[in-house]
Structure 1
Amino acid sequence: MESHTSVVLSLYRHGVTRENQEKIYIGWTDVPVAEEGIDLLMKTKANRPEAERVISSDLKRCVQSADYLFPEEKKIYHKGLREIHFGDWEGKKADELSKRKDFATWLEDPENMRPENGESFEEFSTRIQESWEMIREWCFQDGVKKIAIVSHGGPIRQLLTLLAPAEKPFWEWKPLHGQGITLYWQDAEAFRRGERCTSLSAVPIMEKENG
């Protein structure tokens, strides 16, 4: 990859699931995309940037979303791009968990409180950063200039915290189900060094035409 070559990275959050709609915690729980999620993914697909390499979380909702967004492209599945593991809270509704003292503490201080038998925020952040460093170097070495990652809300927030041109706290990023954000680097060497991108923009949603 020549140093003057620009790099484009698009980050997509998987399509919404029934569990998302019902406010059920599903970090590593393997569930499919809901019908409503498929419809929005198809609108996003109509206007998304091209990708030479598509890398997805290995969980079903991301695998399916990657197939809808990139039906013709080969996909690579990476466990490191999974959502944070919610441990004993997996599969439970927020209303149900609200009675637990540890859940209330986590809501107040999620960066320092670990879900029971789950993953701490520090472990999650380290996992995402290490996965990204591997993907970045791999793409640079292979001369890949157009990259797409299909993942979950947490990993995308973490990647934006690391890579966005302006620094913002993790919780201020609001990636939307079935939609994407594209990051641009003017210089591939800056990309390889792990520097923040030059600019970013939302992937526009193409509304369906009549009928």
Structure 2
Amino acid sequence: MEIYVVRHGETEYNVGAVRFRGRKDIPLSELGIKHAEETGEVLANVPIEAIYYSKLSRTRVTAEKIKEYHPKAIFEEEPYLLDMSFGDWEGKTFDEIFIGEEKEKWFSNPHDFIIPNGETFYTVLDRIHRLFKRLERQKEKVVVLVTHGAVINLIFVYITRTHPSNFWRFYPKPSSISKIVYENGLFYISQFNNTDHLS
């Protein structure tokens, strides 16, 4: 089985003073749309059987650009791919949230933070586990998951069976493509955070 993991294209919250996005429905920027189109183009010759995306427009539009080249592929919204809820942090910059050494701690031990009215890393890992168990059983063997940065970080924490403290080791760029191979009951990283297709 081949699983292509695509991060949505750029939004205005991804540039300048980066803001926590989470469940806020922030649309793609003009550059984000262009990069989504380029992502669709580079995947055009992959025999994709299913495309799954979260309900937020930034992933749906990115997925639609991939779908243009694969009209027969299953195209479904997947609740398990919804971005991590950052609760009261959503829409705010790091500097608006963190005081003193807290910012450094967010990058060294992010799993230790209790996000007010948000999800924990372990909640997201649980839904990733449920999703991947379902993917293992389904008949479609070449699939695309279009999702969000935090979810992708935790997908790779999950398949490498590492501690959530390794969250930032797997940070993907907007419109990046990663590839996971499932074979003989094990997941392998075939490609990670590839952006060679972007202009």
TM-score in same-fold range (> 0.5): yes
Q: 1:167 to 1:43 in 2, by over 3 A?
A: same
1:196 aligns with 2:193: no
Match of 1:18 in 2: 12
Larger radius of gyration: 1
Amino acid at match of 2:62: S
Flag the 1:63–1:205 CA change in 2: closer, same or farther, 3 A.
same
Q: Is residue 154 of structure 1 aligned with residue 177 of structure 2?
A: no
CA distance in 1, matches of 2:159, 2:60: 24
**1:56-111 residue CA offsets vs partner (Å, 9 max, x unmatched):** 11111111110012223441111211121111111112222234887775455321
- The equivalent residue for 1:130 is 130
Please list every run of 5 or more consecutive structure 2 residues that lacks an aligned counterpart in the other structure.
none
TM-score, scaled to structure 1:
0.78
The residue number in structure 2 matching 1:4 is none
Question: How many residues get paired?
Answer: 190
After the TM superposition, which parts of structure 1 deviate over 6 Å for at least 4 consecutive aligned residues? 100-104
Which residue is 2:41 aligned to? 46
TM-score by length of structure 2 reads 0.82
Q: 1:122 to 1:134 in 2, by over 3 A?
A: same
User: In angstroms, what is the RMSD of aligned CA positions?
Assistant: 2.6
- Residues of 2 paired with 1:44 and 1:122: CA distance? 30
Q: Which residue of 3, 10, 19 maps to 1:9? A: 3
Letter in 2 for 1:117: N
8 Å CA contact 1:8–1:147 kept in 2: the answer is yes
